[in-house]
Amino acid sequence: MSENKKQHYVPQFYLKNFSQDKKRLFIYHLASEKSNPGPISSTCQEKYFYGNDGEFEKVLSEMETSQAKVIKKILKNGSVKGLSSKEFSNLLIFIMLQLTRTRDAKNSAENIYDFFAENFILPMIKGHEKLKKYPPELLELLDVAKNPEFYKTLLVIACKNAEGISDLKPFLLINKTSKPFIASDSPIVLNNIIKLGNLSMIGFLSPGLQIICPLCDTIALLLVDAEPYKIQSNPDSTIYISVESDVDNLNFLQVLNCFEVVFSQRAEDEKYINKIHDECKTLKITKAVKGKEVCKISKPNVKQSTVTHVQQEGMNYSMRFSFLKLDHEKFCKFKARFEKLSKESDAVIPCRNEKYAQKVNDKHKNLFKKAKDSEEPK
Residue 285 burial by Cβ neighbours in a 10 Å radius (0-12, 13-18, 19+): exposed
- Is the pLDDT score of 87 beyond 90? yes
pLDDT at 123 over 90: no
Evaluate whether residue 354 is within a structural domain.
no
Average pLDDT over residues 147-155: 84
- How does pLDDT run across 249-306, given as a tens digit for each residue? 999 999 999 999 999 999 999 999 999 999 988 876 667 787 777 666 667 766 667 7
Output the pLDDT for position 311: 73
User: Of 256, 278, 285, 261, whose CA–CA distance to 190 is shortest?
Assistant: 256
What is the domain extent for residue 230? Answer: 6-289
Whether the pLDDT of residue 43 is over 50: the answer is yes
Helix (H, G, I), strand (E, B) or coil at 234: coil
Distance of CA 273 to the CA centre of its chain: 22
How confident is the model over 213-244, as pLDDT tens digits? 999 999 999 999 999 999 999 999 999 999 99
Q: Is residue 233 part of a domain?
A: yes
Are 266 and 180 a contacting pair, CB within 8 Å?
A: yes
Q: At what angle do helices 55-77 and 85-100 cross, to 10 degrees?
A: 120
69 domain-assigned: yes
**pLDDT tier, 1 (very low <50, low <70, confident <90, very high otherwise):** very low
The C-alpha atoms of residue 97 and residue 64 are separated, in whole angstroms, by: 10
Q: Tell me whether residue 243 is in a domain.
A: yes
Residue 162's pLDDT is 93
Q: Across residues 167-177, what is the average pLDDT?
A: 97
Domain count, the chain: 1
Q: Give the model's pLDDT for residue 32.
A: 95
> Distance (Å, rounded) from C-alpha 79 to C-alpha 73?
9
In the predicted model, is pLDDT for residue 52 greater than 80? Answer: yes
Pick the more confident residue, 283 or 60: 60
Flag whether 77 is in a domain.
Answer: yes
Query: How far, in whole angstroms, is CA 119 from its chain's centroid?
Result: 25
pLDDT given for residue 370 in this prediction: 61
Kindly report, residue by residue over 301-335, the tens digit of the pLDDT.
666 677 777 777 766 677 999 999 999 998 888 88
CB 43 within 8 A of CB 264: no
> How many C-beta atoms lie closer than 10 Å to residue 273's C-beta?
23
Q: Please tell me the predicted confidence (pLDDT) of residue 374.
A: 59
For the chain, what percent of residues have pLDDT higher than 70?
85
Name the residue among 199, 222, 225, 223 with its Cα closest to residue 326.
225
Residue 368 counted as domain residue: no
The strands making up 183-184's β-sheet, listed across from edge to edge, are: 34-39, 24-29, 261-264, 183-184
Q: What is the mean pLDDT of the chain?
A: 86
Q: Is residue 76 part of a domain?
A: yes
Does residue 161 form part of some domain? yes
pLDDT score of 345 more than 90: no
pLDDT, residue 376, reads 57
List C-alpha distances in Å: 319 to 200, 257, 285: 15, 12, 16
- Phi then psi for residue 263, to 5 deg, are -130, 155
**Of 105-109, 244-248, 308-312, which has the strongest mean pLDDT?**
244-248
- Give the integer Cα–Cα distance in Å for 252 and 210: 15
CA distance linking residue 12 with residue 16, whole number of Å: 6
115 touches 291 (CB < 8 A):
yes
Q: What percent of the chain has pLDDT over 90?
A: 54
pTM: predicted TM-score of the whole model, two decimal places = 0.88
pLDDT class of 145 with cuts at 50, 70, 90: low
Q: How confident is the model at residue 24 (pLDDT cuts 50, 70, 90)?
A: very high
